[in-house]
């Protein structure tokens, strides 16, 4: 395919993905907005006022960046895993497989679809948070960069999960047993300074801690981790997962018999 044809194919996949999640917005855009609003009400307004300040900020301000990042992670992941596995399950993925679309274009298309949904939900949650607190952005570049790369990383993770999945059970295992615990223990609701030394050390092995803290740094200017190291790690994971996904596609893992 010529570069122009590849661009058309890429754009087609992205438009298809965006149409998909906007068509079913009561399942894709509304639930995270309601869930996060409940978090804001309970942890921010009701319980948060009794907790007081966290790392020098009112609890609601401390928790907002983590909650935005949590919604970006789950939605980027959820979009790609459900869309790609759905295409495998219905066999509509064969529409792309019989076409000349190169593997990297297919992967980019699904990945950007996941990123757009992640950022769309992140934007909705950010707008909702303005009803509960004022948001100040300490560093725009860091904020935008980390949310983008995190979204890319979890879109790719969702893609790999979908490639290996054989049933709908297989696409719910990772979000329930891996993503949710790592996110909740990734410093969304607390600073790891509050933990004993041993648990601080354990927490440092949680990659989501780096993403949440870097994002929080972008808003509030505070962090429990080294920002440069966090970027290095997230971008490295993105590159590794991208090439691994490409490898799976090129070898037709569970797509071709």
Partner 1 sequence: MKNSCLTIKNLFKEYDSGLLALKDIDIEVKQGDFFALLGPNGAGKSTILGIISSLVKKTSGNVTVFGMNIDKDFPVIKKNIGVVPQEFNFNQFEKVFDIISTQGGYFGIPRKLSEERAEKYLKLLGLWDKRDQTPRMLSGGMKRRLMIARALIHEPKLLILDEPTAGVDIELRRSMWKFLKEINEKGTTIILTTHYLEEAEYLCRNVAIIDRGQIIQNTSTSDLLRQLNAESFIFDAYENLSELPSIKGYKGRIINDNSFEVEVEKNKSLNTLFTKLTAQGIEISSMRNKTNRLEELFVSLVKPHEKKIEEDAE
Q: Which residues bind partner 1 (CB under 8 A)?
A: 1-2, 4-6, 8-9, 11-13, 15-16, 19-20, 23-24, 86-87, 90-92, 94-102, 252, 256-257
Considering the complex, what minimum distance in angstroms separates the CB of residue 82 from partner 1?
A: 12
Least CB distance to partner 1 at residue 198 (A): 47
- Least distance (Å) between residue 108 CB and partner 1: 14
From residue 153, how far is each of 56, 90, 114, 193, 202 by CA, in Å? 31, 26, 10, 26, 22
Which is closer to partner 1, CB of 4 or CB of 50?
4
Closer to partner 1 by Cβ: residue 101 or 119: 101
Q: Which of 131, 121, 111 is nearest to 239 (CA)?
A: 111
Length of the chain: 257
**11 or 25: CB nearest partner 1:** 11
Q: Which is nearer to partner 1, 12 or 206 (CB)?
A: 12
Q: How far is the CB of 14 from partner 1 (least distance, A)?
A: 10
Q: Which residue has the tokens 């049933």?
A: 167
C-alpha 76: how far from its chain's center?
4
Distance CA 63, CA 158 (A): 25
Q: Which is nearer to partner 1, 17 or 61 (CB)?
A: 17
Least distance to partner 1, CB of residue 35, Å: 24
Q: Which is closer to partner 1, CB of 88 or CB of 184? A: 88
CB of 81 to partner 1, least distance (A): 16
Nearer to partner 1, 15 or 178 (CB): 15
User: How near is the Cβ of 154 to partner 1 at its closest, in Å?
Assistant: 23
């Amino acid at each position: 395919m010529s570069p122009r044809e590849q661009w058309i194919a890429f754009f087609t996949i992205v438009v298809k993905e965006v149409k998909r999640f906007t068509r079913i917005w009561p399942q894709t855009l509304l639930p995270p907005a309601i869930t996060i609003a409940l978090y804001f009400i309970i942890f921010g307004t009701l319980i948060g006022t009794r907790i007081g300040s966290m790392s020098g900020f009112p609890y609601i301000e401390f928790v907002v960046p983590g909650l935005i990042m949590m919604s970006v992670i789950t939605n980027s992941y959820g979009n790609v895993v459900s869309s790609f596995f759905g295409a495998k399950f219905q066999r509509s993925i064969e529409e792309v497989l019989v076409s000349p679309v190169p593997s990297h274009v297919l992967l980019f298309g699904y990945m950007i679809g996941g990123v757009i949904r992640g950022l769309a939900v992140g934007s909705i949650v950010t707008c909702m948070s303005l009803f509960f607190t004022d948001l100040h952005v300490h560093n725009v570049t860091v904020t935008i960069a980390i949310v983008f790369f995190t979204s890319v990383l979890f879109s790719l993770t969702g893609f790999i999960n979908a490639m290996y999945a054989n049933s709908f059970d297989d696409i719910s295992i990772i979000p329930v047993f891996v993503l949710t615990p790592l996110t909740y223990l990734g410093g969304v609701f607390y600073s790891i300074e509050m933990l004993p030394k041993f648990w601080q050390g354990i927490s440092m092995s949680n990659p989501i801690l780096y993403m949440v803290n870097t994002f929080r740094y972008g808003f509030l200017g505070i962090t429990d981790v080294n920002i440069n190291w966090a970027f290095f790690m997230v971008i490295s994971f993105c590159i590794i997962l991208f090439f691994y996904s490409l490898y799976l596609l090129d070898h037709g893992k569970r797509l071709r018999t």
